[in-house]
Amino acid sequence: MRTGGSRLLVAAVLMTGAPAAEARTCANTFGGDIISAENMECKQARAVVRAWARKYKEDGVVNRRARGFSCRGRNDQYEGLTIRCRLRAKQVRFYANVPG
């Protein structure tokens, strides 16, 4: 009857699933402040922010693709313009700060 304990352990492991991705905070760069990156390095996250900001400065369009990431913006009176860019499991979030 020792298999009952083993089954319980296997069931507990299966129910926990994969660990959640940790968001890392990255240094500010041109176009974005308080950058948060999930499942990617900060270097790549800052490159996405800069690519988004360069295009935004040219034409003022918020929702766009930048370096393959699909970026969407949300503007509210408390936080201003916040952007989320996603590519599969990778995600970048930041506050838009594009100098005029």
66 occurs within a structural domain: yes
Q: How many CB atoms lie within 10 A of CB 80?
A: 12
72 occurs within a structural domain: yes
Residue 41's domain comprises 22-97
2 occurs within a structural domain: no
Question: Mean of the per-residue pLDDT values for the chain?
Answer: 85
What are the DSSP calls for 18-30, one per residue?
SPPPPEEEE--BT
Among 19-28, 35-44, 69-78, name the one with the lowest average pLDDT.
19-28
12 occurs within a structural domain: no
48 occurs within a structural domain: yes
Entry pTM: 0.78
Number of compact structural domains in the chain: 1
| 46 three-class SS | helix
Query: 56, 59, 100, 68: which is closest to 83 by C-alpha?
Result: 56
Place of tokens 């083993």: 6
Model confidence at 18: pLDDT above 80: no
16 occurs within a structural domain: no
- pLDDT tens by residue, 71-91: 999 998 888 999 999 999 999
63 occurs within a structural domain: yes
